[in-house]
Amino acid sequence: MSGIARVTACALWGLETELVTVEVDVSSGLPGFDVVGLPDSAVREARERVRAAIRNSGFEFPLRRITVNLAPAERRKEGTGFDLAIALAILRASGQLLVAVSELCVGELGLDGAVRPVRGVLPRAKRAVGAGIPGALVAGQNAAEAAAAGSEAIAVDTLRAAVAHLDGTVRLAPAARPPVPDAPAWEVDLGDIVGQETPKRALEIAAAGGHNLLLIGPPGTGKTLLAQALPSILPPLDEDEAMDASVVHSVAGLVDPGRPLLRARPFRAPHHTASRLSLVGGGTPPRPGEVSLAHTGALFLDELAQFSPQVLDTLREPLQEGRITISRAGTSATYPARFTLIAAMNPCPCGKLGDSATPCTCLPDAIDRYNGRISGPLLDRIDLRVHVPRVPYEALRDGRAHERSSDVRRRVLTARARMTARGCRANSELTPADLRRHCSLDGPAEALLGRAVQDRRLSARAYHRILRVARTIADLEVSDGVRRDHLASALLLRA
């Protein structure tokens, strides 16, 4: 038997998706197997996988002229996710599959006919559901992801199982839609950190308004601990943000099959030896990097001065634009990358500068070189820079109760609600026009800011950033106006 069959698959470029019709024509003529429609090398190699998978699943690979067209044909198709659709279309066109396939089919095939998971099933399934295709056939490990996208996802572990399900001989039940996950437990609670009232306050402001924060202090004073406490006071993800962040994780291949939707804002902490590629993303096919995995959450760069200045320089675009564009060989992919930056570093190479207990032994130009590793443009985008001093012995000894994260989080949530009511996600995203509208200063505040701009030669960017922080400080105090003391705190925290 010969004929044409069509099965729906979905292409992925960066986070962008497009439904692809896999058309297969099986006709008489010299036996052959061609894939057209701009396949990349992984898609061209599908021929070998599909041929072996069909044979090893007990079907017959037609000894005819087989043409596979991936339509629309004008854009390059990447990856191994088309295997399942191609195999099913061949089986249908050659009469070995009895019914037409109306589901989205996404999966890689092993030579033995196993269906393997691929990256990006969440956005692909979402795209199909949006286009009115409710069903999806995917690998078992991808089923929860597809279900989370609202798909009636059927987990097929083998090509045989897929055919049996479609023919109706062995019907499989759709995967359950994953439940809305509970709030996770936090690793570090603010209540367990002794002293450090100013850094804690800065952390609260950062969490409330989404402002970037740098912690500077000698080793062992709790900088890493403070940063790790940030997730415990961040506002929860709303549904859209949870989906956006989960899509990035899906495309990176980092979905937990048991819990496909992110339940808390991501907190990414790449090591200072991280490459540019792992930080901002890229590769073939391109994958999102740490800045995108941190989207909607926080990026923690511990030991900031140890990162290569070239790697740090790539943070400028995401910090400014909230996204990152990765170009390669004529195409480019844009990934979201809106995160709060939290960084920690020692004040100098020996770490003792400014520490009252022990004198610093660094030579002045060693200190300059050390600080020079953090570029001006990067520093300019860090709104809160606070010193984390050594905690006195008596404070460490006394077991007095400290404010818990849950109490701080309550204030953060109140402040966030005020921001949302003004129509913005977080104060860090206020535009200069928004600032004029929502950040009117009283006389004394105006005078203070005027003087600071002059004395500290602040850039226009710094000026706007200070106003945003002052707005957050006012919001934490449930104050409609921005007063002089709010502004003074904002200036002090940027010292």
Ligand X SMILES: Nc1ncnc2c1ncn2[C@@H]1O[C@H](COP(=O)(O)OP(=O)(O)O)[C@@H](O)[C@H]1O
- 456 DSSP β-pair partners: none
Binding flag, residue 479, Mg ion (CB under 5 A): no
Which amino acid appears at position 88 of this protein?
L
Do residues 233 and 408 lie in contact, with contact meaning Cβ atoms separated by under 8 Å? yes
Q: Taking CB under 5 A as the rule, does residue 306 contact Mg ion? A: no
**From the list Mg ion, ligand X, none, partner contacted by residue 222 (C-beta under 5 to 8 A by kind):** ligand X
| Token pair belonging to 89 | 């279309």
| Residue number with CB closer to Mg ion (307 or 335) | 307
Q: Compute CA distances 253 → 139, 420, 486, whole Å.
A: 13, 32, 44
472 binds, among ligand X, Mg ion, none (CB under 5 to 8 A by kind): none
Stretch that binds Mg ion, among 216-224, 240-248, 306-314, 418-426 (CB under 5 A): 216-224
Residue with the shortest CB distance to ligand X: 222
The three-class DSSP label of residue 363 is coil
Residue 441 gets which letter from DSSP?
Answer: B
Contact 266, 245 (CB under 8 A): yes
Beta-bridge partner residues of 385: 214
Q: What is the distance between the alpha carbons of residues 138 and 153, in angstroms, rounded to a whole number?
A: 7
* φ, ψ for residue 67, nearest 5 deg: -120, 125
Q: Which of 41-49, 200-208, 218-226, 422-430 is the region at the interface with ligand X (rule: CB under 6 A)?
A: 218-226
> Rounded to the nearest 10 degrees, how much is the dihedral formed by the CA atoms of 25, 30, 35, 37?
-70
**Does 391 contact ligand X by CB under 6 A?**
yes
**Residue 181, contacted partner among ligand X, Mg ion, none, CB below 5-8 A by kind:** none
* Binding partner at 283 among ligand X, Mg ion, none, C-beta below 5 to 8 Å by kind: none
Among 224, 278, 334, 479, interactor with Mg ion by CB under 5 A: 224
Q: Distance (Å, rounded) from C-alpha 316 to C-alpha 79?
A: 30
Picked from Mg ion, ligand X, none, the partner binding residue 220 (CB below 5 to 8 A depending on kind) is ligand X
Which residue number, 40 or 187, has a Cβ lying nearer to ligand X? 187
The single-letter code of the amino acid at 307 is F
- The tokens of 57 are what? 């699943």
Q: How far apart are CA 265 and CA 295, in angstroms?
A: 8
Judged by CB under 6 A, the residue of 194, 269, 274, 424 near ligand X is: 194
Q: Does 225 bind ligand X (CB under 6 A)?
A: yes
Q: Per CB under 6 A, does 196 bind ligand X? A: yes
Q: Could you tell me the smallest distance in angstroms from the CB atom of residue 222 to Mg ion?
A: 8
Q: Binding of ligand X at residue 220 (CB under 6 A)?
A: yes
Minimum CB distance to Mg ion, residue 302 (Å): 6
Nearer to Mg ion, 345 or 476 (CB): 345
What DSSP state is assigned to residue 399? -
Rounded Cα–Cα distance for residues 187 and 174 (Å): 35
Residue 304 binds ligand X, judged by CB under 6 A: no
Interacting partner of 445 out of ligand X, Mg ion, none (Cβ under 5 to 8 A depending on kind):
none
Q: Residues interacting with ligand X, by CB under 6 A?
A: 193-196, 217, 219-225, 344, 391
